[in-house]
Amino acid sequence: MPEQPIADKFKISPFLVLYMIMSMQIGIGVLGYQRIIVAEAKNDAWISVLVAGFALQFILWMIYKINETVNGDIVTAHIYVAGNFVGKLLSSIFIIYYFILSLTVQRSYLEVIQVWMFPKMSIFWYTLAYMILCIYIIYGGFRTVVGIAFFGLVLPSYLFPIFGFSLSLGEVNHLLPIFEQSIKDILLGAYKMSLTFIGFEVVLFFYPFIKEPKKSKKWAHLGLLLTTLIYTCIMIITITYFSMDLLAKSIWASLSMWKIVNFPFVERFEYIGIATWSLVILPNICIALWISSRLMKRIFNLQQKKGVIFIAMATLFAINFFPTRVEVNLLNNLTAKAGFVFTFIYIPLLFIAVMIAKKVKKT
């Protein structure tokens, strides 16, 4: 079945890709990624972040190449490479992938709320409310989702300068000497960055919705670059602010850093930060749900409106099976591994496959 062309009124301007990528990438990982990277790369952890960021630029280039070659999204690419049935079978894996991703984000954020603010917060009711909000947004169509991505990035951006408070207590000696760790450790750190960095691959799924996709390329790369720089900055500030052994104990280093912030009108800034963060993760969950339901539509011809409700209900059901830190951690690790396999192994493989298929089909 040929893909139906997307009408122009549903398409988005190329520059909005930047917001899509950045708001999908910046999510729950930022609150506590430092500890995980530092465990591998010690004081050179910021180099790991840079390395991972630049490696991903290459992957992003592959993603665009794939999309351009088949002129469609990942389902088209799969069908192009492996035929209709296998192609759709492969694509349906990503329904589960994005379902798990939204589950991880939702549950990790709830954990933060429970630990930092309200220990009695009910998982079920909060998720229900959040899911209804997401369904409502997705019912507004793809353009609404992009709009949320825009606001989910712009409105909370005032949080970033707040990290400057920690600079005044920073100790540059913690960073030195640069390149103290072995290349292996730095690369291991870069590998551990996957959970924090994943999200830019959403281009694979909404490519047909971009007006003049060629023009969006530079915005996508710029978005990825900006995220990389933001992560590197936060990493450097964190390393100077904490000593290694203290950082190893801080599960949410970014939140711990906000504990030093003190304004005359607000005693504890992290409460504002955590509350604002619900806006940061909103596009995360919305985009993930949108992709899941969109894939359902493409593969099973299921109406997207029904698909969203199905996925949301599944999330609502599944989230109850992760009651404590141990399970949440397990879920996080699983998602990080899946994300790594998807971006660094699957996409290059798909890229090669598409290139071969293209050659074969030409001759």
Partner 1 sequence: MSYRSLCIAMVILFLSGCVDKSIIDDINIQSAVAIDQIEGDPEKIKGMILIQNYLPDQAVENIRFTSTGKIRRDLLLNIQKKSSQPIVVGGLMVTIFGDKISDYGIAEYVDVYMRESSVGTRNYLATSKSSAIGILAGEYGPRGNATYLRNLIEHNIEHRDVPKTNLHIFLRDYYSRGKDPYLPEINGVSKDEVEISGISLFKGDKEIDVLPKNKMFYFKLLVDNYSNGNFLVTLDKHKTAMVKSIKSKRKIKISKDHPNKVTFEIHINGVVTEYTGGKVTEKVSKEIEKELEKKVNDECMKLLTQFQEQQIDPIGIGLAYKANIRGTAKKGKNWIGEEYPTLSFDVKTKIDIRESGVIE
Work out how close the CB of 224 gets to partner 1 at its nearest, in angstroms, rounded to a whole number.
32
174 in contact with partner 1 (CB under 8 A): yes
Work out how close the CB of 141 gets to partner 1 at its nearest, in angstroms, rounded to a whole number.
12
Q: How far is CA 280 from the centre of its chain?
A: 11
Using CB under 8 A, pick the residue from 6, 82, 133, 233 that binds partner 1: 133
Using CB under 8 A, pick the residue from 58, 83, 164, 180 that binds partner 1: 180
Residue 263 phi/psi, 5-degree rounding, is -105, 155
- How many residues form the binding site for partner 1 (CB under 8 A)? 42
126 in contact with partner 1 (CB under 8 A): yes
Which residues in the 42-81 window bind partner 1 by CB under 8 A? 42-43
171 in contact with partner 1 (CB under 8 A): yes
176 in contact with partner 1 (CB under 8 A): yes
The residue among 82 and 128 lying less far from partner 1, judged by its C-beta, is: 128
Tell me which residue has tokens 């709009």: 147
What whole-number distance in Å separates Cα of residue 252 and Cα of residue 37? 13
Q: Of 198, 202, 217, 201, nearest to 68 (Cα)?
A: 217
Q: How far apart are the first and last CA of the chain?
A: 24
142 in contact with partner 1 (CB under 8 A): no
Q: Collect all residues with Cβ–Cβ distance below 8 Å to 129 and sequence separation of at least 6.
A: none
107 in contact with partner 1 (CB under 8 A): no
Work out how close the CB of 361 gets to partner 1 at its nearest, in angstroms, rounded to a whole number.
45
15 in contact with partner 1 (CB under 8 A): no
Task: Let me know: does 279 contact 152? Beta carbons within 8 Å.
Answer: yes
The residue among 188 and 222 lying less far from partner 1, judged by its C-beta, is: 188
Q: Give the type of residue at 345.
A: I
Work out how close the CB of 199 gets to partner 1 at its nearest, in angstroms, rounded to a whole number.
26
Task: Let me know: does 255 contact 274? Beta carbons within 8 Å.
Answer: yes
Work out how close the CB of 325 gets to partner 1 at its nearest, in angstroms, rounded to a whole number.
13
139 in contact with partner 1 (CB under 8 A): yes
Contact map string, positions 234 to 253, toward partner 1, x by CB under 8 A: -------xxxxxx--x----
HSE at residue 172, side-chain half, CA atoms within 13 A, is: 0
265 in contact with partner 1 (CB under 8 A): no
158 in contact with partner 1 (CB under 8 A): no
Using CB under 8 A, pick the residue from 270, 277, 286, 339 that binds partner 1: 270
Using CB under 8 A, pick the residue from 4, 5, 173, 264 that binds partner 1: 173
Mark the segment that binds partner 1 (CB under 8 A) among 62-70, 129-137, 199-207, 213-221: 129-137
122 in contact with partner 1 (CB under 8 A): yes
- Write out the residues near partner 1 by the rule CB under 8 A: 42-43, 115-122, 125-126, 128-129, 132-133, 135-136, 139, 169, 171-177, 180, 241-246, 249, 256, 259-260, 262, 267-268, 270
